[in-house]
Structure 1
Amino acid sequence: GLKKLITTSYNKSPIAGRQLPLFEMEGLKPIKPKNAEAHRIEINKVPDLNKDGAIGLEDVKQLLEHDANVSAPLKDNGDFRSEECIKLLKEADIVVTNPPFSLFREYVTQLVEHKKKFLIMGNQNAITYKEIFKLIKENKMWLGQSLNGKNILFQIPDYYESYYKIIDGKKYAFPKGVVWFTNFDVPKRSEELVLYKKYDKKEYPKFDNYDAINIDRTEQIPMDYTGVMGVPITFLHKYNPDQFEIVGLGNSRDNFTPNKNYQNPYKILRDGTKQNGNAINCVLAIESKIKPDGIYYISDNSKYLIAPYARILIRNKKII
């Protein structure tokens, strides 16, 4: 079981103190929206105080009044980079949280530097960050339990005005693309992805600037292709490191090396507007003989070019 549970909030947190009356127990000033002070709670003992067979908010309220447990304001602002919070981090074996997505790279870097086991929420697109992808490629971090296509709901303050729904009279946000990131082993990482399709060069176009084929959906991965394949980032929900090798990521020269350089490239928008297209020299590209309907690129040494959203480059270990 858990020996200790430590949790913190930060200055002006919009949710701190909304479910637990912290100020009543500590003599703190009443917590107002956008004006909450940084706080820490340490739970050292967790008996079922109200004898209902479960641990709920009523138990937690009583727990905070227990001599073995602590509820107190932080001296600093609650930022995870502060000395006070880093000291608390050093006490921990496991970190479970929903970190600020804008600081996701920095937060994960801190966890790795302190060699912590973790289970954290993040945007699925964080997979494409150079620092995050490096950890995934090296099997130091991966996706946790899948939500099976469902969005995570977050209870939010009443004054939030966008991306919300009302459930039982409470307001919830539902940001899309939120997934679990972890370095805990999960059963699905040992499950082999069942492949049923056979390779057909007419069905799987090759990239024009890298020796690999493009695959639009994970279930379309051919069972008999021995080369490198570019798959969507959602492939990681099915990734088994014993079945596949991650070779690179086709969205930056930091993660793969193109074998062709496009000269004088331009990006053509849907309305026909022409923009600088140098980005095509840093991503995977598929050449098309027919003018695409959406956004595409042109250059002096190619026909029409399409840049699919970030592709993870993989190889099937089972048929090498």
Structure 2
Amino acid sequence: MEGGSGNSNNLLRKASKAKKDEFYTQLTDIEKELKHYKSFFSGKVIYCNCDDPYESNFFKYFASNFKALGLKKLITTSYVSSPIAGGQLSLFDLEGLKPNAKKPFKIEITEVPDLDYDGAIGLVDVEMLLKINKNIVSPLSGDGDFRSKECIDLLKEADIVVTNPPFSLFREYVSQLETYKKKYIIIGNTNAITYREIFKLIRDDKIRTGYTNFNIGMFFEVPADWEKFHHINQSGKKIARVSTSCWFSNLEVSKHREFITLYKKYKKDEYPRYSNFDAIEVARVSDIPMDYEGIMGVPITFVDKYNPEQFEIVDINPHFFTITEQGLEKPTQLKIEGQKDPYARILIRNRKVEK
């Protein structure tokens, strides 16, 4: 067994190359994040389009809380080519309830009644509903890929998409959501911040990090044939820690409207200048000077605290997407005289300078 976060980047790289980057999200992480969005769910159609409904904890969360959240409809689709579909313990124990795992299907729920008459709505009621009402589960004609026409038709019906898409397809996945102007809460690789398409959305305040797990990572259930993992859980499933995983959403996230408290003042000898770009290096977000009017390079973890009312995101090192999209020559990697080149940096400007 492999432990700790040191292997998570290698894990993701190998996963991306093998297109085996589909992980089952733990219910605790889903509950911890989604509790902040409950007011957005009322009266809405929720779509989980990268989830086997019988195994996904996203389906479990929304189906079990269907009434409590006031959902209008819940749609989930399975993907026949998923390396993890059919490999987990089913959320349901009823023999014969799940369709053939090799054939993709969809579940559409518009109501979850109290079928066991215990005065509450829970997973038992969902089990009974799926067993009693055969019309809720129906086959898909294609493979269940989120890019297929029938899945896009379901997407058009949805108000909010909530899922953990394949990390290797993250750019394409987000692009589709943006094309169809959908609201979403999804899990992605923290390094997606450095993708051109994702950076532009963050810069323009169209997408933001979620409430939890940023720069901490999450534990996921991974396929049985994975060699690198963190531990085996009580159910005998392999669990991997992916430290570079976080939530992204284009819904309102209140922490991104909070102002970072700045307490330091600019002193020339404390903030080195880049030798090849007109900006200063700020090694920690907490060290951002309150009185500096120019451009500053800060760690990419800044995006988790980014409030567009307080700061302007100018560009990103070493990619310089803002500059290149203007047709200008891309600057070289930021350099500091006599020091090691800084790692990836978000270039920002303070909108609320305090003298």
Contact 2:162–2:184 (8 Å) recurs in 1: yes
Contact 2:300–2:345 (8 Å) recurs in 1: yes
Q: What is the match of residue 277 of structure 1? A: none
The residue type equivalent to 2:174 in the other structure is V
Task: Point out the structure with max Rg over C-alpha.
Answer: 1
Closer, same or farther in 2 for the Cα pair 1:53/1:286, shift >3 Å? farther
1:248 aligns with 2:315: yes
Q: What is the match of residue 175 of structure 1? A: 242
Q: Distance in 2 between matches of 1:95 and 1:182?
A: 10
The partner residue of 1:217 within 280, 284, 304 is 284
Secondary structure in 2 aligned to 1:102? helix
1:234 aligns with 2:307: no
Q: Distance in 2 between matches of 1:44 and 1:170?
A: 34
Q: What is the match of residue 12 of structure 1? A: 81
Q: What is the match of residue 268 of structure 2? A: 201
Q: Distance in 1 between matches of 2:259 and 2:229?
A: 36
Q: What is the match of residue 341 of structure 2? A: 307
The partner residue of 1:283 within 333, 337, 342 is 333
Structure with the larger strand share: 1
Closer, same or farther in 2 for the Cα pair 1:241/1:281, shift >3 Å? closer
Q: Distance in 1 between matches of 2:73 and 2:161?
A: 12
Q: Distance in 1 between matches of 2:210 and 2:80?
A: 30
Aligned-residue Cα RMSD (Å) equals 2.4
C-alpha displacement at 1:124, in angstroms? 0.6
Q: Distance in 2 between matches of 1:75 and 1:22?
A: 25
Q: What is the match of residue 178 of structure 2? A: 112
Q: Distance in 2 between matches of 1:69 and 1:79?
A: 22
Q: Distance in 1 between matches of 2:134 and 2:265?
A: 62
1:287-320 residue CA offsets vs partner (Å, 9 max, x unmatched): 21xxx6xxxxxxxxxxxxx432221111111118
Contact 1:249–1:256 (8 Å) recurs in 2: no
Q: Distance in 1 between matches of 2:120 and 2:290?
A: 48
Closer, same or farther in 2 for the Cα pair 1:310/1:69, shift >3 Å? farther
Secondary structure in 1 aligned to 2:96? helix
The residue type equivalent to 1:232 in the other structure is P
C-alpha displacement at 1:52, in angstroms? 4.9
Structure with the larger helix share: 2
Using the size of structure 1 for normalisation, the TM-score is 0.79
Using the size of structure 2 for normalisation, the TM-score is 0.71
Gaps of at least 5 residues in structure 1 are: 258-279, 293-305
The partner residue of 1:187 within 254, 263, 266 is 254
Gaps of at least 5 residues in structure 2 are: 1-69, 325-329
Matched positions, count: 276
Contact 1:63–1:69 (8 Å) recurs in 2: no
Closer, same or farther in 2 for the Cα pair 1:121/1:64, shift >3 Å? same
C-alpha displacement at 1:240, in angstroms? 1.0
